[in-house]
Structure 1
Amino acid sequence: MTKTKILVLHPNPDNLDEIIKKANTQNTKNGPFEAVLLLGVHDLTPASTVPQVPTYYCGKTAEEANFTDKAENLVCVSGACPILKLGSGVKIGFLSRNAGDVVGEADILVSFHWPYAVARTQGLSVIGEQEVDEVSLKLQPRYHFAVGTEKGRFYEHPAFQWSTSRACRMISLGQEGSGNKWFYAFSIDANEDDTFVDGKNPYTTQDTSAPVVTEKTAEPTKLQPLKRPAEETEDAAKRPKVVAPQECFFCLSNPNIESHMIVAIGKHSYLATAKGPMPLPQRPLDFSGHAIIIPFDHTPTLEDQSEQREEMAKFQKTVAEGFYERSFATIFFQISRPENVHIHTQLIPVRLEGAQEQLERSLAERTKQNNEKATYRQQLSFTSDPKEVKEILETNNFIRFVLSMGDQIKVYAAQLSSEKPVDLQFPRRVMSFHLKCPKRTYWDRCKQTKGQEITDCEKFKTFYKPYDFTS
């Protein structure tokens, strides 16, 4: 039986030439490899050294599948989740974003983010994406490679079964130069699976002991090696991890807080511009308008009638007033649940005309997608009935949207539970549908430079100054 050899690398883009040389050396010594897969990069400048083996990397999202030759033996794969079939019959899926209706199976899956189901077992929810879970469940890959963050980290999840005849290994690599393992070579047979299974399927086993972790805590300055899965699970059960205020990027006590994004500070809460803002400037606004209202207290939910809640409501009222005077409605959204790290409310201005109809259409569409295509998630049902909304909000376990249009306020709420994971990206999915900007669903895909963030914040300050009750 002949097996196909594959080499997987997580390169530092600034050192691509040396990495290609190393890959060529490995091919000569331990190959031949049928393919080399590059993780964690979306845009590469071809190296002067020519790869001996066809080398593939996942480019930016495109509407249609496309395989573009960037140089000899260097191929950029773009599209939602195109599948490449090698000469040996091995199929490789390259997941970018918004995968849509993926069909069939793939022997190997490449993604940037970890699957949420696996990330959750390690207390690293922030580097997982539930959309990756959806694609993985459909393709049922035998090998799944990801990095999670730009620098990545090495982790190999215990192999688990999809079915009696099909198993999966999920492997994360660190970036070359990070001190973590950054390469992985293996052999695979397109027609037979001989993987030894020693772990539980994370997609069917919910881990309730692992906490939600923020991006800042998920990727410290110096990456530390993860413990073996058994040790990690045992420790998590004994000592639930928490994100301390000095590590929380919403807490003012964090020495690394990005103060250049703060618009106004009250007595109990503050207003700041958002990282990775969804809307682009809409005339007559010359700034994004996407902002966050954050209480000082490091708490997952807000107590009823608290001073924080009252002041945050005042921020909402004054910001909405400013946008309304410029013919914009304001949509506020919030996820409140005991598992939160630090409760906050986000806000986005939208065109006033047709705002309610568009928001209700967006809510209906994204709720349908959530409930029909991701049955492992919490099923959502939104109501705008005042009595039902009041009962839901009293539980402090909900997703809420508030539409402010001058004197008219409309509230939509969905009850949450702890039985299944909630899609933490759901509000941004709704807003990306509303704003018709699907490529800006994820904040890290629309990041600004620090200079752009400073400019955006200064323009927001100028806009907000006539309404600022804190000055």
Structure 2
Amino acid sequence: MPYKIDPLYNNNIMANKKTNRVVIGDVNGRLSEVFSKLSTLQPKQNFTFAIIAGNLFADPESASQTQDDEVSRLLSGEIEVPLTTYFALGTRKLPQSVVERLESSDGELCPNLFLLGRKVSIKTSDGFRIAAIGGSYVPGSDEPMSPYEATYTDTDAQALAKEGNDVDLLITSNWPSAVQDGSKVACPGQSPQGVQSIADLCTALKPRYHFSTSEAFYEREPFFHSGPSPRSLTRFLSLAPFGNPDKQKAMYAFTIEPSAPPPTKVPDGTTASPFFNTKKRKLDSQQDSYNNFRYANSNASDTNYRGKGGRHNNKRHQRTQLPPTPQQCFFCLSNEACETHMIGSIGTDCYVAVAKGPLTTREMYLDLGFSGHMLIIPLQHSPTVSQIPDKEAQKSTVAEVQRYRSAMHDMLASKSKDADGRSKLGAVTWEISRASGVHLHWQFLPIPVDKIQRGLVEVAFDVEAENLEYPAFVKTASQIAEAEDTGEDYLKVMIWSESLRKEMLLPIDRSFRFDLQFPRRVLAKLLELDNRMDWKACALAREEEAADADAFKEAFQSFDFSLEDE
């Protein structure tokens, strides 16, 4: 049986250290078969220990004579357990002979076979940390129970959660509530009922692996927990019964280093924790931060035009405040105050300008020759695409935005080739579409391609959204299209490299206060530019802005479709 090397935590494993483990689902009294199987595997796999995550024994109320005989043979030593094996309490009452042996031997049923119990936290001789809570969940009961009683309560789970965190393995009879939320992996058949206190326990302990059992095998994508970076990641797996007729996976073998630190590289498909509480505090107001700069790194709201008094709480005043006209909007070319020295290209429906207070700098991207941080701005004065009055103008505006993006992608790919002919840069483009905004625009930022290929951009947005208690991003094409079609506010993030395309959308509603600087903050942290989060602190002199625009024009000239008719 080949074992799986854990890509999350395979850090500096020593060749001579026994790190192979195996976990097994419900055995249901097939004792001779399971230990015979382990005896066959052990010489080759050299497992340090095995864990039986489900019911080791058949139901004593309905066990056959053969199964009763199996228990007797195990207790007498006729069935050999070939390696150190821990078995979970499971959801059934233990046979009385088993309970009597456990009570007289402090949890050791026979040589090499040990009970994990109702709630337990242990550390193996090689430093491996295991936590387990067994039995069927019983709500609302805090009566003292025998350590061999096949039930547990919320109090048991809470007590175990207080004993520590960052365990290697968590074994639970029940699934945690909501574990399938945010997952693209379907569970074969009906999913077991989840328990909230088990979800809370997983969140507290942050196990590297969380094992449970079910009628069919299920493996969720790994997910990360909240906390400082690098964040702990968990794999949740539910094993099928041993010897099941459908050949569903009942044994899971893998290798990891005991007590390894969290990984620095996040694997593809990793999601935020499904156990995060997404209930939000309702806000009385959705007004946004004051921002009166023409090329600011956010979509200005109507609060930007209230004069020196800034934001007002007086509702009557807000109702009488008119939105800015094109002659008053800093994004509109008809405004005499428009800073045209920052424009790098003008198309039929949009124009491109360098960002004011760019996040990245010319020194970071010497291959480009300019800062790289650009804005794509529709010529139409509208807060969202859907509010552009003419439907044909809506279509042509979106088409030209995408054409500019594609052209700038081609520019990045051409200008940043490495020795092997591969582009060193990808890009992230984001759009904040808000009905209360003033003039819609897209921001375009080059990003080192390795951060895109390793999935770090997507994870960075997920993590920051979780930290701020924002809703989860939607990521499938159908979900994104549905969110855009509703006409509601949203943040859309478009990630590109030569070999990867990804989109993600955050619906924005009144259940939380959205920070317009959120995308810039996320990317500043990702690029380790924390000192450049505030665009106002990065503002350039007018001469520097004009030089940056000229450098963009030179780099973009051969890709600029707006010059084709000149």
| TM-score normalized with structure 1 length | 0.50
For 1:346, the equivalent position in structure 2 comes to: 443
Q: Equivalent residue for 2:284?
A: 206
- Which amino acid in 2 is paired with 1:365? V
1:227 positional shift = 10
1:316 corresponds to 2:383:
no
- SS at structure 2 position matched to 1:324: helix
Q: Secondary structure of the equivalent of 2:353?
A: strand
The percentage of aligned residue pairs carrying the same residue is 26
Local SS of the residue matching 1:247: coil
Q: Over the residues paired in the alignment, what is the CA RMSD in angstroms?
A: 2.9
Once residues 229 and 369 of structure 1 are traced to their aligned partners in structure 2, the CA distance between those partners, rounded to angstroms, is 29
CA contact 1:211–1:240 (8 Å) conserved in 2: no
Larger Rg: 2
Amino acid at match of 2:358: P
Letter in 1 for 2:342: M
- The amino acid of 1:350's aligned partner reads I
* Most deviating of 337-346 and 277-286: 277-286
2:174 match: none
What does the per-residue CA deviation read over 1:418-445, in whole Å, with 9 as the maximum and x for residues that have no partner? 3443111111111112211011111101
Q: Which has the higher contact order (CA 8 A, sep 6+)?
A: 2
Tell me, in whole angstroms, the C-alpha distance in 1 between the residues paired with 2:481 and 2:310: 44
Shift, 1:212, TM fit: 7.4
Report the equivalent of 2:521.
429
What's 1:470 paired with?
Answer: 562
Structure 2 gap ranges (5+): 1-280, 295-301, 417-422
List gaps (5 residues or longer) in structure 1.
1-202, 372-378
AA aligned opposite 2:360: P
Change (3 A) 1:416 1:438: same
Letter of the aligned partner of 2:537 in structure 1?
A: R
Q: How does 1:87-166 map to 2 (within 5 A)?
A: none
Residue type matched to 1:463 in 2? A
Mapping 1:23-422, distance limit 5 Å: 206-207=284-285, 214-215=292-293, 226=309, 232-237=314-319, 239-281=320-362, 282-303=365-386, 306-325=395-414, 326=416, 327=423, 328-356=425-453, 357-371=455-469, 379-396=470-487, 397-406=489-498, 408-422=500-514
Shift of 1:402: 0.5
| Letter of the 2:533 counterpart | T
**Which region of structure 1 is more displaced relative to structure 2, 414-423 or 209-218?**
209-218
Could you tell me how far apart the structure 2 residues matched to 1:313 and 1:228 are?
A: 35
Per-residue displacement from partner, 1:128-155 (whole Å, max 9, x unpaired)? xxxxxxxxxxxxxxxxxxxxxxxxxxxx
Q: For 1:248, give the aligned amino acid.
A: C
d(CA) in 2 for partners of 1:291, 1:464: 12
Question: How many angstroms does 1:407 deviate by?
Answer: 5.6
For residues 204 and 219 of structure 1, the distance between their equivalents in structure 2, rounded to whole angstroms, comes to 23
Cα shift readout 1:356-386 (whole Å, capped 9, x = no counterpart): 4220231122112211xxxxxxx23113222
- SS in structure 1 opposite 2:371? coil
Number of equivalent positions = 258
Contact 2:373 2:443 in 1 (8 A): yes
Judged with a 3 Å threshold, the aligned counterparts in structure 2 of structure 1 residues 205 and 430 are, in CA distance, closer, same or farther, namely closer
Deviation at 1:228, TM superposition (A): 12
CA distance in 2, matches of 1:386, 1:269: 25
Task: State the alpha-carbon separation in 2 of the partners of residues 401 and 210 from structure 1.
Answer: 20
Q: Following TM superposition, by how much is the alpha carbon of 1:285 offset from its aligned partner in structure 2, in angstroms? A: 2.3
Is the CA contact 2:288–2:515 (under 8 Å) kept in the aligned structure 1? Answer: no
Distance 1:388 1:226, change over 3 A: closer
- TM-aligned CA deviation for residue 342 of structure 1: 0.7
Q: CA deviation at 1:224?
A: 6.5
| DSSP 3-state at the match of 1:245 | coil
State the Cα deviation string for residues 308-328 of structure 1 (Å, max 9, x = none): 111111001101111122221
Distance 1:463 1:433 in 2: 27
User: For residues 229 and 354 of structure 1, do their structure 2 counterparts lie closer, same or farther at Cα, with a shift above 3 Å needed?
Assistant: closer
Paired with 2:355 and 2:408, the residues of 1 have a C-alpha distance of: 14
The match for 1:439 is 531
Query: In the superposition, relative to structure 1, how do residues 430 and 234 fare at CA in structure 2: closer, same or farther (>3 Å)?
Result: same
CA displacement at 1:465 relative to structure 2: 0.3
Measured in 2, the distance between the counterparts of 1:309 and 1:420 equals: 28
Q: Is the 8 A contact 1:389 1:412 kept in 2?
A: yes
Distance 1:412-1:234 versus aligned 2 partners, 3 A rule: same
In the TM superposition, residue 211 of structure 1 has moved relative to its aligned partner by: 10
| 2:291 and 2:304 in contact (8 A); partners too | no
Letter of the 1:457 counterpart: A
Q: 1:224 to 1:329 in 2, by over 3 A?
A: closer
Residues 225 and 409 of structure 1: CA distance in aligned 2, closer, same or farther (over 3 Å): closer
Q: Which amino acid aligns with 1:276?
A: G
DSSP 3-state at the match of 2:503: strand
Structure 1 residue 408, shift from structure 2 partner: 3.3
Q: Is the CA contact (8 Å cut-off) linking 2:290 and 2:303 kept in structure 1?
A: no
Please give the secondary structure, in 1, of the residue aligned with 2:539. coil
Deviates more, 1:404-413 or 1:328-337: 404-413
Write the distance in 2 (CA, Å) between the matches of 1:229 and 1:416: 22
**CA–CA distance in 2 between the matches of 1:390 and 1:229?**
35
Secondary structure of the residue aligned to 2:351 is: strand
Give the 3-state SS of the residue equivalent to 2:562 in structure 1: coil
